[in-house]
Amino acid sequence: QLHLQESGSGLVKPSQTLSLTCAVSGASISSGGYSWSWIRQPPGKGLEWIGYIYHSGSTYSNPSLRSRVTISVDRSKNQFSLKLTSVTAADTAVYYCARSELGRYLLEFWGQGTLVTVSS
Amino acid sequence: QSALTQPASVSGSPGQSITISCTGTSSDIGGYNYVSWYQHHPGKAPKLMIYEVSNRPSGFSHRFSGSKSGNTASLTISGLQAEDEADYYCSSYTSSSTLWVFGGGTKLTVL
């Protein structure tokens, strides 16, 4: 069974960079056929898709965040990562990672999520 | 404000049926059959429960069903059970550069 686990900095200061990693077990990112996404949920608000990466390293991100987002993959560790620069309080959210089949717009497996708070 | 509109909350008694709506536009729900629904118990990983409007992943109860009419998708839960109490989110592909949009979520309370 596929399992995804988010980890990273839980508290980030304004203007700094948020860094998160999603460790994948039960499947290999290198095998292809899937996209690996980041999604977030600010407190009391709905979900927002941040972006995804393919095993090849190709990425696509939400235009509203694109200038600040970097998504990368580390095939040797079977994990992918998110960096979000110049954070503000508006970036405080629970961040989730998830997997989708290529060409299908559904998030079939999710991690439990990790709360990131932006505060000085 | 979320791109897709859901009621903030719905409630029902055990055994009853409820329907959660999800309204978008012709650029998302109305234009494509890529509507999916997710069940989220707080503190746990969200679960895909309906995909491509009306399909259920294997192992998911037949009590959950999805449909679409025009720009509005719906999730129906029949025979409500206590464990159905959770937050439910809809999602759709969109032809805009955002690619993927979600609803604001609906909290289901089983009375």
Q: Is residue B84 scored above 90 in pLDDT?
A: yes
Distance CA B109, CA B83 (A): 10
- Chain A residue numbers with beta carbons less than 8 Å from the beta carbon of B48 are 106-110
pLDDT tens, residue order, chain A (120 aa): 899 999 998 999 999 999 999 999 999 998 888 999 999 999 988 899 999 999 888 999 999 999 999 999 999 999 999 999 999 999 999 999 999 998 888 999 999 999 999 999
pLDDT tens-digit readout, B7-57:
999 999 999 999 999 999 999 999 999 999 999 998 899 999 999 999 999
- Chain B residue numbers with beta carbons less than 8 Å from the beta carbon of A111 are 45
Which residue is closest to B51 within chain A, CA to CA? A106
Quickly tell me which residue has 């997710």 as its tokens: B38
The burial class, CB within 10 Å (0-12 / 13-18 / 19+), for A78 is: middle
> Is B57–A108 a contact, with Cβ atoms under 8 angstroms apart?
yes
Distance CA A44, CA A34 (A): 30
Q: How many CA atoms lie within 13 A of B23 on its CB side?
A: 4
Q: Which amino acid is at A45?
A: K
